[in-house]
Amino acid sequence: LVRRDWCIQSKETGRYVLDQILSGDDRDAVVNNIHDHLEQLAKRMRSGDLPLEKYVITKGLSKHPNDYPDGKTQPHVHVAKMMLKANRPVNIGDHIPYVITMQSSEQEQKASTKTSAVERARHPEEIKRSNGELKPDVEWYLAQQILPPTGRLCEPMEGTSPSIMAEKLGLDSRKYHLTGAGNGHEIDDENLVDFIPASSLPDNERFKEVEKLHLTCLACGESNEFCGVFAKGSTVDKVTSGLSCPNPDCSHPDFWGGPGHLQLWSRVSNIMTMFIRRHIQKYYLGVVKCDDPACTISETRQLSVGTGCPCLGRGCTGRVRPVYTERMLYDQLKYIESLMDVNHTCEQILFKQETDTIAAKTELLRSISKLDTEMMRQLHSVAQSHLHKSAYHFIEPS
């Protein structure tokens, strides 16, 4: 918080968190107070109740704006150049205030891709003169100005983490599971007491973060999640086929609008294979990212930057981590394999209803036609062949 590239609200939040940590109160009370503060702050920012002055970041010019070789990557230099174009005086040593604004509708129409935060930096006076056209980018401030210093201050504390705080701020917590040396998958001694291996978790818990397989109905044109041989919500007493379109208004729901089993098998097999190949390609792209949320360096594929190496960002103390890990790829492959496994699907339904008996499973298997079973067996064979190529779940003896 000593650096000048933090906004006023970031400094105030940092002081509040520090006061809570040093208050001497019970740890749970401190954690709850910090979480409540983050939730209330996010609500105020998104509702527009936070004054513009709280978003202002100020940084000094060590040279003339036109003399910066990397001026396109520094917001205060960008704003200083805009001030020069407007014939406003700018001198060496001046402290330039700026606010990162949301991308305007006019910018969205002109540019097919989202503009960078540097390009969206504006002087506070310009924002006031815009009559509401320019507004602070709340999501950027929450992710880049509020979460990083709070996460650093709370790093030694138990009961919270960057992902939990991101969730309190209304951000995507999955992006912050990579922070830390173990990519979010290390297990300490305390967690071993109640540790449940992934293979023992129900599918809805184990695969909650994977990308789901979707299929488009040929009759109604609606895309829905393909849930395997049984539709979502099926029970032992009420079995609904997953080989039919779930849209209640579909004119021909059987076989997802197709003529029969052969055509459906061909469609699902092709879509599943392309789905798996896309995720394998995503893994082998080798994209890495710094685990420090405050780092300004975006994702990269530089060969000189290996997993676990120090970040190349100037002044950054983070480590480089893969964006798409071996664990993520394996979970994706295992999800597809489990989805096509008829026996596994039956066991999941029985597990939910706590009716794990041989008679109940036999009755559930009888409700599936022979052609449905054979089709799913062929699809499971394809999925299994891809899973067995992964060495993630094999251990080579030394």
Q: In the prediction, which pLDDT does 304 show? A: 64
| pLDDT-derived band at 395, boundaries 50, 70, 90 | low
Q: In the prediction, which pLDDT does 257 show? A: 94
pLDDT tens figures, 278-327: 999 999 988 888 877 667 666 777 766 667 777 777 667 778 888 888 98
Average pLDDT of the residues of the chain: 83
Q: In the prediction, which pLDDT does 303 show? A: 60
pLDDT tens figures, 67-108: 888 677 788 999 999 999 988 989 998 999 999 999 765 555
pLDDT tens figures, 103-156: 765 555 454 456 778 889 999 999 999 988 899 999 999 988 999 889 888 888
Higher-pLDDT residue of 259, 3: 259
Q: In the prediction, which pLDDT does 19 show? A: 94
Higher-pLDDT residue of 259, 306: 259
Task: Tell me: pLDDT of 194 over 80.
Answer: no
Task: Tell me: pLDDT of 390 over 90.
Answer: no
pLDDT tens figures, 206-255: 888 899 999 999 999 999 999 988 887 777 677 778 899 999 999 999 99
Q: In the prediction, which pLDDT does 229 show? A: 86
Q: In the prediction, which pLDDT does 112 show? A: 45
Encode the chain in three state secondary structure. Answer: CCCCCCCHHHHHHHHHHHHHHCCCCCHHHHHHHHHHHHHHHHHHHHHCCCCHHHHCEEEECCCCHHHCCCHHHCHHHHHHHHHHHCCCCCCCCCEEEEEEECCCHHHHHHCCCCCCCCCCEECHHHHHHCCCCCCECHHHHHHHHHHHHHHHHCCCCCCCCHHHHHHHCCCCHHHHCCCCCCCCCCCCCCCCCCCCCHHHCCHHHHCCCCCCCEEECCCCCCEEECCCCECCCCCCCCCCECCECCCCCCCCCEHHHCCCHHHHHHHHHHHHHHHHHHHHHHHHCCCEEECCCCCCCCCECCCCCCCCCECCCCCCCCEEEECCCHHHHHHHHHHHHHHHCHHHHHHHHHHHCCCCCHHHHHHHHHCCCHHHHHHHHHHHHHHHHHHHCCCCCCCCCC
Q: In the prediction, which pLDDT does 191 show? A: 44
The pTM of the full predicted model, rounded to 2 decimals, is 0.59
Q: In the prediction, which pLDDT does 2 show? A: 47
Task: Tell me: pLDDT of 37 over 80.
Answer: yes
Q: In the prediction, which pLDDT does 114 show? A: 62
Q: In the prediction, which pLDDT does 118 show? A: 86
Q: In the prediction, which pLDDT does 181 show? A: 37
Q: In the prediction, which pLDDT does 175 show? A: 67
Q: In the prediction, which pLDDT does 109 show? A: 45
Task: Tell me: pLDDT of 15 over 70.
Answer: yes
